[in-house]
Chains A and B, each alone.
Chain A
Amino acid sequence: MDKRIGVYICQCGSNISDWVDVEKVREVIREENGVVLARVTMFACADSAQKEIVADIQQEPLDAIVVASCSPKLHLYTFRSVAERGGLNPFNYVQVNIREQDSWAHSDQPTQATQKAIRLIRAGIAKVQQAEPLTPVMIPVDNTIAIHGAGVAGMRAALELADLGTTVYLIEKEHFVGGRVAQWGKMSVTNQTGEEIVTEMYRQVIQRPTIHLFTGARILSATGSIGKFTLKLKLIPRYLNPPCDAIGLKKAMEACPIVVDDEFNFNLTKRKAIFHNFKSEFPALPVIDMNACTRCGECLQFCTQIDLDQQEKIIDLQVGSILLTTGFNPYEPKPGEFGYREIPSVITLQQFKRLLELSKGEFRFGGKKINRVAFIYCVGSREVEGEHKYCARYCCTSAIHAALQLREEFHVPYIYHLTRGIRTYGKQEILYEQSSVAGDVYFQFVEDDPPNVEASGDHVKITIHDLLTANQEVSVTVDLLVLVTGMVPRENDELEQILKVPLGRDRFYNEVHPKLRPVETVLDGVFIAGCCQGPRNIHESVSSSLAAVSKIYSLLNKGEIQLEPTLAIVNPDTCEWCGKCVEGCPFDAIEKAETDKGFVARVIESNCKGCGMCTIYCPTEAIDIKGFTNQGIRSMIDAMAGD
């Protein structure tokens, strides 16, 4: 049955009526099928006009309204609410743009503009005739989150979300929390150490009963979508049952005969198979590294709480949302790159930072006191030809800060910086200033002409063509050469495949838009923060993690999310299930479903964005977008094609 339609033609003062003969339009439109009322109004958006429309809807009564006025971008919601106030479904309202796309655009041809207005309104009437009442789709959301990575970004987010009432599963791949920051030593600007920051954060984490920490954990699979994801986790045990007697444990560690490189100290030192990273390390319980342990049983003599028979566990978690804070890896120079691994006194910035942490009073390396140190910058960063084209942004500041510490705490007098242009952006500039004033010497080279590094007895000789002194050749001989190594993405292939997180050109996780949606991914309900997204310093990591918190909170706090109802819909009578629509959908929003008649496509509304890409792929035209149906658009074309 045809709807009873009311049409309102707005003069917009004279902005429409100066060029469009609104009376003529009304005369024509009132004769259209279904139109029971056509009015001209001075300002349709004015309060009085809105009240008149509401009264018309109720008194006539009307089933649908068309307002021909300005662009729907201005007043779509105004008139949808008018329709609702009159008791109509808001989707039984269509706005026709006869100002921006008619009277103004064709003010040079008023007769034609009037004709166009008539055709546009006819198309609007056709559209509203086809319109179905629509209601927003509601998706229930679990107020729980999985945060993957318990570094500073992950812990900060966990704390904030827990305080906002969300249940947090904090998942850490390693056996200890703190990520890279735990290894980082003193940092600018506060001179707090990474250890201190991590210790303090962990203390807060364990005080929150709604944060559940899993260490030694890996995500094996993930299913579901926004509002309800199911994660399967594998938990690797510590092979220790708390509480442990501290003395027994210490003896057990001494007794362990297995000695391996200590990765926490970037292999500068050794550790046992039963180990912890530092004194205040959290959780405050060592762990047995089963990759190194030979199950010799030496440790069992001293500590009864050691249990080598502990088994890996598999658990399921159900969460409403996922936040990835998996961090970065430091760049590992290739053997021979600036003498790395060939000359003993060539180390990375990360090793140098650990060395500063481990040193007391005097700064020594390889048994000798260090007097001269050089830094070569941009190692593994800003490669024009190589894989790492990006600037790792934290390293200039970090190296300069470490050099200042070297000078102030350990009184190393000769410090040389071989840079490719210093990037102490923002307030960090002050450190660069301080370092220059303190007497550090700066040279600059270009990528095409890198410094030459060679062993010179116990020392390292570096030769550079210095840009700052008109390309003169300069040599310095130092006791220690530090390669200022950048950040590279962690090897997370497994996780990437499980969650299908998109990667950017730089192979870090990619946000939807660096400016507009900096912590969201194209996967609804999956967020990213910290260095898994690209290089940044701690301040920037934590800022991004707080940004993610605010996005996650607005998603989780209502218990459900409301989606626009203009989503895809499948007609099960004409669908023959070929799966082509699945190919067309960029959002995994279509699945195969079984009905009495056999298989059909079904729209997963929580994933659907209503873009309509799927509709093109259907050979039987069985899939439509609500509000933009095949029939609806065809009837609009018919109306526009007329005279």
Chain B
Amino acid sequence: METPTPKILVFSTEKISDPALDLAGLLKLHYSPTVHTIVLPCSSAVRPGWILHAFEKGFAGVFIAADGSDCPYGESCIEKTSKIVEKAHVLMREKGIPTERLKMAAVCSVCAELFVNQMKLFAGELSGERINE
């Protein structure tokens, strides 16, 4: 039986986190097929507007697979990515969207397992939240 799971939009990064997503596939580590990924150069380039847009279009959750300290564009990435999350949280509150629907974690280029676990956890949280709604 294939059960429908909440739709998650992932923002990954070309050099760091997206290779980990590829590795997850290579190792046949399964996660929900309702996870969709958009690749960007750097996680500190995710516009809060895109996050809002995704929620408006029906995504249950947005996950930023951040570069963390591995970012090829320097250390300011960590701080900037968390600022983006803060800003998005403000916009989400304005629209009455629970801030738990946006998650971020640093995903290194071979962190396949970590990514898959994050997806499972997030999908679980999002389904729970849906029941509560």
Contacts and interface: CB of A to CB of B under 8 A. Distances in A.
B59 A612 contact: no
A613 B30 CA distance: 32
Contact of B25 (A100, A119, A584, A633): A100
Interface residues of B, number: 45
A288 interface: no
Contacts of A633: 38, 40, 47, 50
A123 B38 contact: yes
Contacts of A615: 45, 47
A105 B53 contact: no
Contacts of A109: 2, 30, 33
A95 B117 CA distance: 27
A106 B80 contact: no
B89 interface: no
A630 B54 CA distance: 13
Given A638-B57, A641-B57, A616 B47 contact: yes
Nearest to B67: A611
A150 B46 CA distance: 46
A167 interface: no
A586 to B, nearest CB: 5
A285 B33 CA distance: 77
A105 B31 contact: yes
Query: Size range of the interface on A?
Result: 35 or more
A105 B8 CA distance: 15
Interface string A604-643: 0000011111011000010001001010011011101100
Interface string B16-31: 0011011111101111
A640 B24 contact: no
Contacts of B44: 611-613, 616
Interface string B46-75: 111110011001110000000000000110
Interface in B84-125: 84, 87
A485 interface: no
B127 interface: no
Contacts of A115: 33
A269 interface: no
Contacts of B34: 112, 116
A640 B33 CA distance: 12
A100 B33 contact: no
Contacts of B26: 100, 104
A120 B28 contact: no
A158 B96 CA distance: 64
A16 to B, nearest CB: 11
Nearest to A117: B33
Contact of B24 (A73, A105, A566): A105
Given A109-B2, A628-B41, A634-B53, A641 B59 contact: yes
B126 interface: no
Contact of B80 (A112, A584, A636, A638): A584
A101 to B, nearest CB: 6
A493 interface: no
Contact of B41 (A105, A612, A636): A612
Nearest to B15: A73
A309 interface: no
Contacts of A119: 36
Contacts of A621: 47, 49
Contacts of A641: 7, 54, 57-59
B80 A616 contact: yes
Given A97-B22, A634-B53, A641-B57, A106 B33 contact: yes
A436 B36 CA distance: 66
B36 A104 contact: no
Nearest to B44: A613
A324 B100 CA distance: 49
18 contacts: A73-B22, A97-B37, A101-B22, A103-B25, A106-B30, A107-B30, A109-B2, A109-B33, A111-B2, A116-B33, A116-B34, A586-B74, A610-B41, A613-B73, A615-B47, A621-B47, A633-B50, A640-B9
The 10 closest A-B pairs by CB, nearest first: A612-B45, A100-B25, A641-B57, A112-B33, A104-B25, A611-B73, A100-B22, A106-B33, A105-B25, A611-B42
Given A109-B30, A586-B76, 6 more contacts: A102-B25, A105-B24, A613-B44, A621-B47, A636-B38, A641-B7
